[in-house]
Amino acid sequence: MTRKSKVLLAALLAPLAGMASAADLTLNVEIPNLPVAEYHRPYVAIWVEDGSQAIAANLALWYQVRGDHTKWLPDLRQWWRRGGRDVKVPVDGLTGATRPAGQHILKFDAAAEPLSKLKPGRYELVLEAVREVGGREAVRIPFEWPIKAAQRGNAQGKTELGAVALALNP
Amino acid sequence: MNYAKLAVALLAVTPAASFAARAWLLPSQTIVARSGGWVTFDAANSDDLFSFNQGAMPVDSLSVSGGDGTAVTPQNVARGKTRSSFDLELRAPGTYRVAVAGDVVMARWEEDGMPKRWRGTPAEMAANIPANAARLEVEQVQRRVETFVTVGSPTDIKSIGAGLELVPTRHPNDLYAGEAARFRFLLDGKPAKDLAVEIIAGGTRYRDAPAAMELKTDADGMISVTWPAPGLYWLEAEVKDEKATVPGVKKRTAAYDATLEVLPQ
């Protein structure tokens, strides 16, 4: 992450953390600007994985909702095998349209589903992105649950994802 | 008769297992999101994996079952010069088991000093082999060439209980590079121990070494394979024994081939 994007990220996350009255998981996801001839917005899956590599909580799934494009969901290979194939899309609060390049902030209430169902333990937040006529990439950020103290984690994508920052606020 | 014609003639009467060309099915896709679509298969006998440059595999004995175990009829079955092909409509979720499977008897004998051959089902044997055939040699050949396609979530691969077969511990549509997969081989429904299993990655035309993985099953008929790289793989195993299951026949060859797709992590 560049110094500039770190500052930007802190600025974005700070008011959110301040506002939070209940514990939350906040995620800043950067979808990179790619100088390619044919660009399509990536499909992105974001989930929480437990030690058995199964999906403990699905957080977000962005795909081309308009039209009939669910046939490409298995291209999110890790998400698909870990349990995505059992998700009957669309799902309220989980699925949504693909998003453009830039920073995207997602916030999840720790006391609400799906996070409220997590048992105490070590988890990994996983982000996987795949782009039509492009590549596929997954990044992981480990964290502890429940949120006893503030936790911060970062990952840096190389191709399909940019900087990813995770903040757990008690 | 030129060499090619001779080869084709031999192919028709010789147990596939003893013939050099590898038998394989090539699916257009192995993991499908939802029902309602189609998958196409090529079927060929060729040493190069998976290039159809030798001969088409006959697909008269196609056997396809869907996720619930019921038979599914392939469509647009066509036999070309270098490959056969067929389409499969995926009407329901689950794992489709797609196989060219046969259980035949092959016989050779002499009649009036002339060599005779016959190949057919065990039921037709009595009517086609003369009772007084001289130098009679009969062999049962059980053969299964298969691959798997899963729509949505995988369903279990159940044992057939006859011939040589693979019963996966790790589902054949859930294979990833760098991960170990365990498979059990059964012969007549029982663990096939000390069985030699060969696994070769596709794309043999583009490398100098065959790079075959040679494995041997343990006492439970199990092998463990750690896939070195993503891609299509061809697996083969064969048993020659004297345990034919056809009355009046002793010698038996049971062969198994599978095409498996391994995905990147």
B265·A73 Cβ contact <8 A? no
Across chain A, which distance is largest between two alpha carbons, in Å?
A: 47
pLDDT digits (tens, 9 = 90+) for B103-146: 999 999 998 889 999 999 999 998 998 888 899 999 999 999 99
Q: What is the Cα Rg of chain A in Å?
A: 16
Q: Residue B103's domain spans which residues?
A: 3-262
**Euclidean distance between CA atoms B95 and B153, whole angstroms:** 8
Specify whether the backbone of B94 is left (phi greater than 0), alpha (psi in -120 to 50) or beta: left
* Residue-level pLDDT at A22: 85
Q: What is the DSSP letter of B4?
A: H
Which pLDDT value is given to residue A3?
53
Q: Does the distance separating the beta carbons of A74 and B32 come in below 8 Å?
A: yes
- Residue B33 to residue A70, Cβ atoms within 8 A: yes
Percent of chain B with pLDDT over 90: 85
Specify the pLDDT at position A13. 55
The residues pairing with B145 across neighbouring beta strands, listed in sequence order, are B100, B257
Instruction: Say which CATH number the domain at B203 has.
Output: 2.60.40.1930
In contact, B45 and B19? CB cutoff 8 Å: yes
Whether the pLDDT of residue A14 is over 90: the answer is no
The mean pLDDT of B221-243, rounded to a whole number, is 97
Query: The domain containing residue A67 runs over which residues?
Result: 3-169
Q: Which residues pair with B102 in a beta bridge?
A: B143
What's the pLDDT at B246? Answer: 93
Please tell me which residue of chain B has the smallest CA distance to A128.
B265
E strand or H helix that includes residue B125: helix B125-128
Residue range B28-57: mean pLDDT, rounded: 95
Residue A53 scores a pLDDT above 90: no
Question: What local confidence, expressed as pLDDT, does residue B1 receive?
Answer: 37
Nearest CA-CA partner of B24 in B97, B81, B90, B99: B99
pLDDT for A9 beyond 70? no
Instruction: pLDDT band for A68, please (50, 70, 90 cuts).
Output: confident
Q: Which of B7-11, B24-28, B71-75, B97-101 has the lowest mean pLDDT?
A: B7-11
Beta strand B84-89 with B94-111 is: unpaired
Number of domains chain B contains:
1
Instruction: Report the alpha-carbon distance of residue B170 to residue B133 in Å, rounded.
Output: 48
Chain B hits for A69, Cβ within 8 Å:
none
- A51: confidence class by pLDDT, cuts 50, 70, 90: confident
Residue with tokens 């995207």: A104
Which chain A residues are closer than 8 Å to B37 by Cβ?
Answer: 71
The predicted-structure confidence for A121-164, as pLDDT tens digits, reads as follows 999 999 999 999 999 999 999 999 999 999 999 999 999 999 99
* Cis bond upstream, residue A32 (ω within 30): no
Say if residues B10 and B55 touch (Cβ distance below 8 Å).
Answer: no
* B202/B69: higher pLDDT: B202
Total domains in the fold of chain A: 1
* Minimum mean pLDDT range among A13-27, B170-184, B225-239: A13-27
List residues bridging with B168 in a β-sheet: B183
* Nearest C-alpha in B relative to A71: B33
> What's the pLDDT at B126?
87
In chain B, the DSSP E strands lie at 23-27, 31-32, 38-45, 55-56, 62-65, 75-79, 84-89, 94-111, 114-120, 134-151, 164-168, 180-187, 190-191, 196-201, 213-216, 222-226, 231-241, 251-262
A77:B264 CB<8 A:
yes
Out of B33, B152, B263, whose CB is closest to A77?
Answer: B263
* Model pLDDT, residue B166: 97
Do residues B164 and B144 lie in contact, with contact meaning Cβ atoms separated by under 8 Å? yes
Q: Which residue has the higher pLDDT, B15 or A31?
A: A31
Rounded average pLDDT over A74-80: 96
CB-closest option in A71, A77, A81 to B33:
A71
